[in-house]
Amino acid sequence: MARKEPDAIRITSATRSHGEDISRRQRRYLFSMAIRTLCFVLAVVFAGGVLMWLFIAASFVLPYVAVVAANAGSSPDTGGPEPFAPEPTRGALEPPPR
């Protein structure tokens, strides 16, 4: 039976790797394009009604939104340790008596 290694503990506040960032942006773009395709199909289904024009408008706006979101800079990774801050109740160290 193979041993399962524990997950690595993250000890840095470094951002994601470039490959992981690209992969995340590609998934967001593909998800948005899937919604656009669904809007176009729904526009065909609801042909002749007010909903048709709503879905057509959404299918025209979504590519712009998807490209802007995909080309946006990488978002900061909130994982990792918190920066060290001394306890506010403790005072500074005093020098030794002379």
pLDDT surpasses 60 at 26: yes
> CA–CA separation, 88 vs 98, rounded Å?
28
- Up-side HSE of residue 56: CA atoms within 13 Å toward CB? 11
User: What confidence tier does 88 reach under pLDDT thresholds 50, 70, 90?
Assistant: low
What pLDDT score does 41 carry? 94
Q: What is the pLDDT of residues 41-52, one digit of tens each?
A: 999 999 888 999
pTM above 0.95, yes or no: no
pLDDT band at 71 (very low <50, low <70, confident <90, very high): confident
pLDDT at residue 19 tops 60? yes
Cβ atoms of residues 82 and 12 within 8 Å: no
